Amino acid sequence: MSEMMMPCSYEAEQAVLGGLMLDNDRWDEVILQISPEDLFSRPHRMVFRVMAELAGEGLPLDLITITERLENKGDLEQCGGFAYLAEMSKNTPSAANILAYAGVVAEKSRLRQLMTVGNSLLSDVQAPKASSAGILESAEGKLFNIAEQGAMQLNSETGVNEALDKLLTHLESMSASDGLTGTPTGFSELDAMTCGLQPGDLALLAARPSMGKTSLAMAACTAAVGAKPDDHVFVFSLEMPSEQLMMRLLAMEGRVELSRLRSGNMDDEDWARVSAATGRIIEWKNRLIIDDTSYQTPATLRARARRYVRKYGRPSLIMLDYLQLVRSPEQENRTQEIAEISRSLKALGKELGCPVLALSQLNRLVEQRADKRPNNGDLRDSGALEQDADLIMFIYRDEVYNPGTPDAGVAEIIVGKQRQGPTGTVKVKFDGRYTLFSEFQEGSYDFGYRSGRKQA
């Protein structure tokens, strides 16, 4: 594509360079808006880079210093010589509007980047082995980066008082949270062991069927969305429609038996509990985002997550239910497919700066052991899961295998791997009526029975 067709403004670029030569003090403001790569003209880019060098060395940005530095580099003639530099300085009467000119330069740069993405798309789709999923993944990432650059804030200065207030608030928060540095799970002992789910980490929650993976993960989601008034949580539910997930949430939040919600056979007290729980859940509007698209690939997951970031803001947690339902059709076998999904989820967490909590199945070998507590080797389909995960947790409930166990109503959260911390087991309570996990207290199995029938 010819230069004449590319979005640019030579006049704005000249005004920025000329304005900087007139008023060196504007450099710190301009450099927050544009970089050398944002200037379309190659000579202008070369001049801007020299200005950056001089500013970094504490030297003035004037006609003499810039000319001398360009001459020493052998670049003066390529930049139009002394006459062109002098003309830029002369034709800029004032630096008063320099930020407006820099804004024009930045906008033209983003338009050129968008054109580059478009041209790349045209080239990619014509490739012999073109993959729509791969092309979408690449394009979404490039567009997301352009959007992030466009959202860069100029005025981010912080006064001493404001900085001190932020520090004190942070210290108070850390003190109140007992050293919690990540997103809370809602279980104090687990948070004490892990310091919360850490930004950028891939956390796996794995168990055999009927152990309560979804319910425990949703408990972590509600704890995360309730931790701060502006936190967001993205839930990708590939297995369960949003209506069923919301029914689980109502049962957990309202202490209403799930069977009664499913059948609609509820009394006045049940309806009162549903109403109260609904009021709490409504407060999470636009903060707890549920996507129940059943067919997802690594590319579509990342694309949807980026879209929700643009719409709602960055999340404090992403939950995926469950990992083995994601498809990566380009891979030759299931092991490679799971490995690609695992890598993609880890990259997504790093990109968005939040933990990704992915639910995972276990293989059937655990059923053949006398002790059916799972371990890292029981993860299904790929050793890449164990390698990529920063945190691996398992759920074990003895009552699933031994109905007469004295540990009925007790669940074990087994931390099988933690890259930056200890491993071990945390006990929590589980009430199957509400599919509810809650804090464990030794000897306490009171799930809230009321006279006449079980509490709902």
The domain that holds 99 is classified in CATH as 1.10.860.10
More confident residue, 64 or 269: 64
Of the given ranges (4-18, 111-125, 132-146, 413-427), which has the lowest mean pLDDT?
A: 132-146
Of the given ranges (91-95, 140-144, 428-432), which has the lowest mean pLDDT?
A: 140-144
> Is residue 243 one of the residues assigned to a domain?
yes
Range of the domain at 21: 3-150
> Looking at the structure, do residues 414 and 297 belong to the same domain, yes or no?
yes
β partners of residue 235: 290, 319
> Looking at the structure, do residues 138 and 230 belong to the same domain, yes or no?
no
> Is residue 453 one of the residues assigned to a domain?
no
Looking at residue 263, its amino acid is: S
Q: Is 300 helix (H, G, I), strand (E, B) or coil?
A: helix
Q: pLDDT digit string (tens) for 32-52?
A: 788 888 999 999 999 998 998
- The pLDDT, as a whole number, for residue 166 is 63
> Is residue 158 one of the residues assigned to a domain?
no
> Is residue 166 one of the residues assigned to a domain?
no
> Is residue 65 one of the residues assigned to a domain?
yes
Question: To the nearest whole number, what is the mean pLDDT of the chain?
Answer: 82
- The pLDDT, as a whole number, for residue 373 is 87
Q: Given a cut of 80, is residue 443 above it in pLDDT?
A: no
DSSP state letters, 162-192: HHHHHHHHHHHHHHHTTT--SB--S-HHHHH
DSSP state letters, 349-401: HHHHTS-EEEEE-B-GGGGGSSS----GGGBSS-THHHHH-SEEEEEE-HHHH
Q: What percent of the chain has pLDDT over 70?
A: 87
How far apart are the C-alpha atoms of 227 and 180, rounded to whole Å?
11
> Is residue 455 one of the residues assigned to a domain?
no
Q: Are 202 and 356 in contact (CB under 8 A)?
A: yes
Q: pLDDT digit string (tens) for 195-208?
A: 888 888 999 999 88
Name the strand (E) or helix (H) holding 440: none
Characterize the bridge pairing of strands 410-418 and 424-431: antiparallel
> Looking at the structure, do residues 306 and 388 belong to the same domain, yes or no?
yes
Q: pLDDT digit string (tens) for 346-377?
A: 888 988 889 999 998 888 888 778 888 888 88
Looking at residue 164, its amino acid is: L
- The pLDDT, as a whole number, for residue 446 is 38
Q: Given a cut of 80, is residue 243 above it in pLDDT?
A: yes
> Is residue 331 very low, low, confident or very high in pLDDT (cuts 50, 70, 90)?
low
When pLDDT is averaged across residues 369-396 and rounded to a whole number, the result is: 83
Domain boundary, last residue among 130, 150, 170? 150
- The pLDDT, as a whole number, for residue 44 is 94
More confident residue, 419 or 56: 419
DSSP 319: E
CATH number of 415's domain = 3.40.50.300
> Is residue 140 very low, low, confident or very high in pLDDT (cuts 50, 70, 90)?
confident
Q: pLDDT digit string (tens) for 154-176?
A: 444 456 666 677 667 656 665 66
> Is residue 160 one of the residues assigned to a domain?
no
Q: Given a cut of 80, is residue 7 above it in pLDDT?
A: yes
More confident residue, 97 or 387: 97
Q: Given a cut of 80, is residue 305 above it in pLDDT?
A: yes
Q: Given a cut of 80, is residue 134 above it in pLDDT?
A: no
> Is residue 303 one of the residues assigned to a domain?
yes
Q: Are 366 and 208 in contact (CB under 8 A)?
A: yes
Sheet of 233-237: strand order equals 288-291, 233-237, 317-321, 356-360, 202-206, 391-396, 410-418, 424-431, 436-439
Q: Domain total for the chain?
A: 2
